[in-house]
Amino acid sequence: MCGITALLLSNPEIMASVELFEGLQMLQHRGQDAAGIVTCGYKGRLYQCKGNGMVRDVFNQENLQRLVGGLGVGHVRYPTAGSSSNSEAQPFYVNSPYGIVLAHNGNLVNAEELKNSLDVKAHRHINTDSDSELLLNIFADNLQQTGKFRIYEEDIFTAIKGLYEQCIGGYACVAMIAGFGIIGFRDPHGIRPICYGIRRSHEGFDFMFSSESVVLDALGFTEIKDIDPGEAVIVTRQAITRRKLVHWGELTPCIFEYVYFARPDSVINGISVYRSRLEMGEHLANQVIKECGKNLDIDVVIPVPDTSRVAALQLSHKLKIAYREGFIKNRYVGRTFIMPGQQMRRKSVRRKLNAMALEFADKNVLIVDDSIVRGTTSKEIVQMARDAGAKKVYFASCAPPVRCPNVYGIDMPSRRELVAFNRDNDSIAKELGADMVIYQDLNDLIASCQKFNPHITSFDCSVFDGQYVTGGVTDEYLAHLEKDRSDLAKSSRESLHSPDTIGLHNFLHTSSQSYFERNGWSGVKGVNGVNGSN
């Protein structure tokens, strides 16, 4: 899962980099592996700064000031396809045709086929394992086929329509064409979120795309709308043009956005994330009663901060059981679910959370979490509760059992790494060390979201039911995906990109400071004017 944003200011003399930076900070929960910004300045000159780490680590006042221009694209990343090397930090850039920058959230299921096609037919070299570079080059190749010296909105719509016909998967993209404007588009099923808003300024109107509405709200943008499935929106300083390019898709948003990924103060596809989580708590309370009976031997409800707080509060209200904050969170440790590597996730749990014994000692506790994926975090949390003196530990999940890989951009691909794989609830409880595990019913989860937008008739629930709305997900593909994305495979790839191995990736792709400058070569400025990437 990633966070994307793009901004066009009506006054080209004002730097877009500051608000892009602020936007990425508000999307930090969507990816903590890498961050990047590319801006466009005078005469279409591009400037970039990107690298591994949190937003605050990649950017400082000096390099933000060197990101010149009144329009730009930003990205925060956690790895699904590809590795965690600097070379995979986005946005990506290609100089031909026209100078195009693209950032992407999601995943393609026909990536290998597309990569071969680009090589054989378009003669385009793909330098990373990132789907984002594939999307960029497909878009660029489709534009190049116009053969025009200058392009217009109609040419861009034609190129994106071709991309929709070529690419299978879930994706939301923002792009920038040097000296032209910014673009947002979304896959024909609307699996990944993207919205946009307008802000009045002294010179006219500013325009912004974002993965979540919270960014637009905080920066003063109004008239916020979601991009429809199969739609593209093109923004220049002269006009805003939107068009639905394919009509065969149906809005099927990823339900895990509401369970875990999105901030509670966001509204996605017309659904308040906060209100949907309240409703999840209501339904989960009913499930607790169903499985435990009305005479509950639960003394206290304790959430796992932060995502499950809203649901846990509503559950405690429904059950008339005290709600307590038993875990104190260290906010300077990243989200464990999106950390690459099982060993790193396990080590981070106790660094991230501390159990207060006074809320656990001699009590039967019901711990509420948003979901149970690999079980690494949950197992450590149960043990922490016992170490703090809990007599019994019940564990409730706002989501159903996660038993299937996700192919649309969430890093939970290997079935054997999922704690619910080939296990029933009793076996899962035993694995976690809990007295009982209680899961949300899938129909109740869907109802929790659908209540606030009845026009959405279906959601992508593939991690729960194994139904992939895009098609093209074969057993062979899943086997390849699991092999490629297991923790073992990722750790092997990370060793290839260690600091001891400079390699071609580190030579071609630079972050905050160019490779050449770091090694004492002259002639290349610090935050790259993007002159030869890809």
Measured on CA atoms in the order 255, 257, 260, 263, is the torsion positive or negative?
negative
Residues 6+ positions from 424 with CB-CB distance below 8 Å: none
Tokens at residue 410, please? 């969430």
The answer to whether 77 touches 33, Cβ cutoff 8 Å, is yes
The answer to whether 434 touches 382, Cβ cutoff 8 Å, is yes
**Residue 369 marked ligand-binding:** yes
Q: 459-470 burial string, b = 16+ CB within 10 Å, else e? A: bbbbbbeeebbb
- 522: phi then psi, degrees, rounded to nearest 5: -95, 170
The interaxial angle of helices 273-292 and 442-450, nearest 10 deg, is 150
Q: How far apart are CA 304 and CA 287, in angstroms?
A: 19
Q: Collapsing DSSP states into helix, strand and coil, what is residue 14? A: coil
Q: How far apart are CA 498 and CA 190, in angstroms?
A: 36
Strands (E), 372-516: 392-397, 436-439
Q: What is the 3-state secondary structure (H, E, C) of 430-465?
A: HHHCCCEEEECCHHHHHHHHHCCCCCCCCCECHHHH
Q: How far apart are CA 444 and CA 315, in angstroms?
A: 14
Residues in the chain: 534
Q: How far is CA 108 from CA 80, 81, 163, in A?
A: 11, 9, 12
Catalytic residue among 2, 40, 173, 398: 2
**Residue 265 marked ligand-binding:** no
Q: How far apart are CA 361 and CA 352, in angstroms?
A: 21
Is 404 marked active-site? no
Would you list which residues are annotated within the binding site for Mg(2+)? 307, 369-370
Would you list which residues are annotated within the binding site? 307, 369-370
- Residues with active-site annotation: 2
